[in-house]
A and B are shown apart, each in its own frame.
Chain A
Amino acid sequence: MLVIVALGQELRRDDAAGLAIVREWQRTYPYSAADPEVHIEMAGLAGLNLLTFLELGDAAILVDCIQAKAPAGTLFMLDESELASFCAASGSAHGWGAADTLALGRSIGAQMPANLTILAIAAGDLSLGEGLSPDVQFALPTAAGQIEKQYKNYKLFSKFSR
């Protein structure tokens, strides 16, 4: 099972980008999104509940917004080890951060996907309110394409590992 988890606070503008990216992928690639081997979780402020979602899959993509020294809308494909450094500077209001949650899961031997990727998008505006900044909005199709690429890789890998 490929688990796709969208994270973010919908009332803090670009912080909702993770959710918007996954919705864009569902809209653009409906057949992929309807694959029974895919589990989509619009997790919002998931905190520690992230562990509950991750135990469902052998691979996972977390989609989230980050604060980075990069133009708004810049996309990053990160692995788990790279997440912590990005989260350290995050002003996100997710409560329990994804990096801490993943580290906690690993430390207690929680069931977690062997293959975990983070699709992150650089925020432009994290103020209170609804709606994405133009640069982040513009990046949504490209970001959705990145999810599709990961999905196809997963299917290919699944096919050959059977």
Chain B
Amino acid sequence: MKQNIEVPALARVEGEGAIYIRLKNGEIAQVEVNIYEPPRFFEGFLQNRYFQEVPDITARICGICPVAYQMSSVQALEQAMSVQISDEIRALRRMLYCAEYIESHALHVYMLQGPDMLGHESALTLAGEHPEVVKKALRLKKIGNALLKAIGGRSVHPVSSCVGGFYRWPDSKNIKALIADLEWAVQASLETVQFAAGLTYPEFEMDYEYVALTRPDEYAIYDGEILSSKTHQSIKSVDFEKSYLESHVKHSNALHSHTTAGATYFVGPLARLNLNYNQLRPVTKAAAESAGVTLPINNPFKGMIARGLELVEVCDLALELARSYNPTGPSKMPFKVKAGEGTGVSEAPRGLLYHRYVVNEQGMIQFAKITPPTAQNFAQMEADLWQFAPQVLDLKHEEATLACEHLIRTYDPCISCATHFLTLKVDRE
């Protein structure tokens, strides 16, 4: 590779963005992951809105992870107003989250990173050669979508969640009707692990600081404390901004995150898997052992294996929750609107999603802060490219460009929420 790398619009990521790598005398001199849109639009947009509008508005930020936005926002607002939800509501929220994971991970494994790993330009060309692979992905995704609709009331942007719980309990027969599909999904996700573990990944490892939610009693997705692999300490969501800071960088509209020690950190499936393997369900652990997965995994390309294992986890969990679904209590907890401040954090498929709101006595939003996973990973993506780009400098320009794009796609960046993303440019001097 003799030229700088420029990807002006990365394909197969949610949104738009760009990568720029400048070479000087054959060495990497500059790496930028660029973002074009104003990063804080949605936070401003939420100000002076009634608090119950927030879950619906934030759900519309992204077509892929609306549930994550709803779950972090309702938890933050419930904390602000001292609302305690019931176990039944929490279980349904977990099932709703499973639906989103099934959709998102099936899409990423088979349609976004899968084509890269199998040497295809896109899912379209992959479908031409391996239609059965794409059909499986679409069926998995469809099951996730059907579960989302059964609980969330709509196929794309769910509308049933609210601060305090759900506007009403979803019809039990609609959820039970999906049990057979979920049984198939568990089997398909087990095959997905074998598929992902059987691929040959680019050689690349980093000494990451992983950050993810953790719980002692379950694989944390809906809630938990925030754990770092470097400090081995977990903190509550209210302390997130004391440990993880955001700052502007000159070349990007998006804020970049780092720890208070100034280090980059990595959120997402690899972080969750590496930090919370012990809390996985038995079927997921068995799948990992059967596929010969050993931890820690420090190769970002192998995030695909982590997604495969999480597919098993959420399909099996959704199956259990669907079988036991039989709510008897109120779907929405009664509470009085009051002034307050609250933080909420949950694990979007792409990683930790943090919300903080300040509400006044009338329930109007006075302040909103949203720190999405993709924004938290931007600095880590750049750090990866500094290390990875020299490995591909000797390749032809097109191959080097593809390799860099592939690396960024492993993060599954969702730019619709972190703002828009991706395109690659390399300049040589």
Contact = CB atoms under 8 A, between A and B. Distances in A.
A4 to B, nearest CB: 14
Contact of A104 (B38, B134, B155): B134
B62 A45 contact: yes
A51 B138 contact: yes
Interface in A98-127: 100, 103-104, 107-110
A11 interface: yes
A93 interface: yes
B60 interface: yes
B60 A48 contact: no
B72 interface: no
Contacts, number: 81
B124 interface: yes
Nearest to B63: A45
A150 B59 CA distance: 32
A105 B165 CA distance: 37
Given A9-B60, A11-B60, A47-B64, A108 B134 contact: yes
B131 A109 contact: yes
B212 to A, nearest CB: 25
A107 B124 contact: yes
A153 interface: no
A76 interface: no
A76 B45 CA distance: 32
Interface string B13-42: 011100000000000000000000110011
B63 A94 contact: yes
B45 A11 contact: yes
A46 B148 CA distance: 13
A42 B158 CA distance: 12
A48 B111 contact: yes
Contacts of B343: none
Given A48-B141, A95-B64, A43 B128 contact: no
B317 interface: no
B64 A49 contact: no
Contacts of B155: 41, 43, 46, 49, 52-53
Given A46-B156, A104-B134, A52 B142 contact: yes
Interface string B130-156: 010011001001100100000000111
A91 B423 CA distance: 14
Nearest to A52: B142
A128 B131 CA distance: 37
Contact of A110 (B16, B122, B138): B138
A83 to B, nearest CB: 14
A128 B253 CA distance: 14
Nearest to A48: B141
Contacts of B1: none
Nearest to A46: B156
A93 B15 contact: yes
B185 interface: no
Contacts of B420: 93
A99 to B, nearest CB: 10
A8 to B, nearest CB: 10
A51 B103 CA distance: 14
A91 B316 CA distance: 38
A155 B124 CA distance: 34
Given A45-B63, A93-B420, A107 B145 contact: no
A26 to B, nearest CB: 16
Contacts of A109: 131
Given A51-B138, A93-B416, A107 B127 contact: yes
Interface in A11-64: 11, 41-49, 51-53
A95 B63 contact: yes
Nearest to B38: A128
Nearest to B420: A93
B102 interface: no
Q: Which 6 pairs across A and B sit closest by C-beta, in order of nearness?
A: A45-B63, A128-B41, A107-B127, A108-B131, A44-B156, A95-B63
Interface of A: 9-11, 41-49, 51-53, 91, 93-95, 100, 103-104, 107-110, 128-129
16 contacts: A9-B60, A10-B60, A11-B45, A42-B154, A45-B157, A48-B138, A52-B145, A53-B155, A93-B15, A95-B64, A95-B416, A100-B122, A107-B127, A107-B128, A108-B134, A108-B135
